[in-house]
């Protein structure tokens, strides 16, 4: 296809797609939210920071006229996904949502799905292992027990009184997750239904240890947006 392509990124799939497009000679501009202090950068041109909501993104699309927009942001980046759908409609730009499937429970899993972090906090009993990211940690500030919080950058919201903060970037192996959960005597894992193999080791470890998992459901996607689950299908759509 003829570029350029605006790629709303920040995920492993986005970096893979940017690399594949660049290798094929397609001009790609990757946009990152800028929430991480040291993000993993994709191939090609990179812009960091927001567009200024729907009006700002619409103006950018009208000025730069990309052939298409691929929204490959995190499954929980609902604001950006909603803004992209509205802006692309306003600018008449084709839009594709690249989103990996959510996780599927396997025999031995003890999962409970909730709609938000507040509901997740209400289900916590004992020592909790939070892997929900640094945003929204404040929902767990009132937990009375010990809490293990893992994220890439330090949270800006208040941590629970009994919190232990681990700053680390995955992926993590099952052995690493098992060791961490045993070390901190974890009773429940709290995470978001991000999907994909990159962060699934904690679910395998919880299964092996017989630990329940509380998963936050994904936000709904805007109506009418084309969605594909893999980079290969995104490339086919772009062609």
Q: What is the pLDDT of residue 3?
A: 64
- Statement: residue 239 has pLDDT above 80: yes
* Angle CA 114–120–121, to nearest 5: 160
The architecture in CATH of the region 111-216 reads: 3-Layer(aba) Sandwich (3.40)
- Lowest average pLDDT, out of 38-42, 79-83, 166-170, goes to 38-42
Nearest alpha-carbon partner for 208 in 184, 172, 183, 174: 174
- Phi–psi pair at 152, nearest 5 degrees: -80, -50
Could you say which DSSP state residue 222 is in?
P
**Confidence grade of residue 170 (pLDDT, cut at 50, 70, 90):** confident
Q: Do domains 5-101+219-238 and 111-216 have the same CATH topology?
A: yes
C-alpha to C-alpha distance for 179 and 208, rounded to whole angstroms: 12
Average pLDDT of the chain to the nearest whole number: 93
Phi, psi of 148 (to 5 degrees): -100, 120
Where does 5-101+219-238 sit in CATH, by number?
3.40.50.720
Structural domain boundaries of the chain? 5-101+219-238, 111-216
Percent of the chain with pLDDT over 90: 83
Residue 28 near residue 20, CB atoms below 8 Å: no
In 3D space, the residue among 138, 166, 140, 136 whose CA is nearest the CA of residue 151 turns out to be: 166
Give percent above pLDDT 70 in the chain: 97
**Structure confidence at residue 44 as a pLDDT band (50, 70, 90):** confident
The per-residue pLDDT for range 66-101, each reduced to its tens digit, is: 999 999 999 999 999 999 999 999 999 999 999 999
Return d(Cα 239, Cα 225) in angstroms, integer. 18
Residue 161: pLDDT band with limits 50, 70, 90: confident
Q: What is the mean pLDDT of residues 11-24?
A: 94
Helices H / strands E in the chain, number of each: 7, 12
């Amino acid at each position: 296809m003829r570029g350029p392509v605006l790629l709303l990124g920040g995920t492993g799939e986005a970096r893979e797609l940017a690399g594949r497009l660049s290798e094929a000679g397609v001009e790609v501009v990757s946009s990152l939210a800028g929430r991480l202090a040291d993000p993993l950068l994709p191939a090609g041109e990179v812009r960091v920071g927001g567009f200024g909501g729907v009006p700002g993104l619409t103006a950018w699309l009208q000025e730069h006229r990309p052939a298409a927009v691929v929204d490959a942001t995190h499954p929980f980046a609902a604001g950006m996904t909603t803004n992209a759908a509205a802006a692309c409609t306003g600018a008449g730009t084709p839009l594709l949502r690249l989103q990996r499937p959510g996780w599927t429970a396997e025999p031995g899993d003890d999962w409970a799905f909730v709609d938000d972090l507040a509901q997740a906090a209400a289900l916590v009993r004992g020592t909790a292992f939070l892997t929900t990211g640094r945003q929204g940690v404040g929902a767990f500030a009132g937990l009375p027990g010990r809490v293990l919080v893992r994220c890439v950058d330090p949270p800006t919201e208040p941590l629970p009184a009994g919190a232990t903060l681990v700053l680390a970037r995955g992926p993590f192996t099952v052995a690493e997750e098992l060791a961490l959960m045993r070390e901190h005597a974890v009773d429940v894992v709290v995470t978001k239904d991000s999907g994909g193999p990159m962060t699934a080791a904690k679910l395998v470890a919880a299964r092996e240890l017989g630990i329940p998992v509380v998963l936050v459901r994904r936000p709904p996607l805007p109506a009418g947006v084309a969605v594909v689950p893999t980079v290969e299908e995104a490339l086919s759509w772009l062609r």
